[in-house]
Structure 1
Amino acid sequence: MTTAGDRIRQCEKYIHRPRTPYRARKARYDATADQLFSAGISNRDILVDVGAGGTELDVCLRVDYGWRGRYVPVDGWLDGVDLEAWQPPRTFDWFACLEVLEHLRDPGRLVEALQDNATCGVVITTPNPEVWDVLAMDSTHLTPISQDMLREWGFRTTLHTFYGKYQDGITGLWTGAT
């Protein structure tokens, strides 16, 4: 059985792996910000960043977009949270889940939990399996997430260039009315 302490150590190891510079990853944060602002995020809203990593979405929203809402990070390196089983403790305005779903065995369970607890919406980003062999990108990738899957879950999707190949990333926006 994996304990919270074990998960914290695993996540710390993962988060400290060599990474591309922030500027190279910024396209996914910009795409997320564009979706959030097009759907009406305001400075009064609370955004929960599920799988927050280095909390760089918060940096992007505040520095480049002037957002002043409340940002809540959720990540295993913080407290050992297991996103395979995590349930939001209450409703929040927005959830962002960037480059996370492909790491889960049952991503639909998390998506449903986010949708059930979002009063405004959910934004997701993921590698595009039509461009990348998602399972080969990273040994922790377990489930490729396609545009069709996101659409079945009620998301409106757009394609982006996140990793250097044309339209190699997907952004999904769910507002309940999508």
Structure 2
Amino acid sequence: MVDVSLRPWSPDDLDLLHRANTPELMDQLGGPETDAQVRARHERYLHLWHEGSARQFRIVTPEHPEGVGIVGYWQREWRGEPVLEAGWSVEADYRGQGIAPAAVHALLDYARGDGETLPVHAFPRVDNPASNAVCRKAGFTLLGQADFEVAPGRVLHTNDWVVELVPR
């Protein structure tokens, strides 16, 4: 497994969000955000961490402590049930090195250690083989396809992957 670690989202991570604000990385959310939207998202990450409803992390490697991507989970309702949703983004220069699956494994370990018990879902588009491979490599189970609203009025055709944090 690739040597990655997760650092809790901090005020210093705004630059990481700016680097992730590319057409390729933001395609599922409707494209790149304005500077004001990036700053608002950064503040939201900090606020949600403080209130305990989400966890966002900077993905670091020994060579890149400034971060090579973002991984996190947040509370949501899915099909009438409370769940956690996971998402990640790795900068283009660092893809294909196993960083995303390693970061998602670390995220799931963190969630278990933090006492989370809700199932964790991920919703990559069906036509995104890389993100679907991350789910598979990180131990998620494919439940099937779903039309998933990623933002108000923006529905994508996705795969619904899940991992149980506690045995049922």
| TM-score, length basis structure 2 | 0.41
Which structure shows the bigger proportion of residues in strand conformation? 2
| TM-score, length basis structure 1 | 0.39
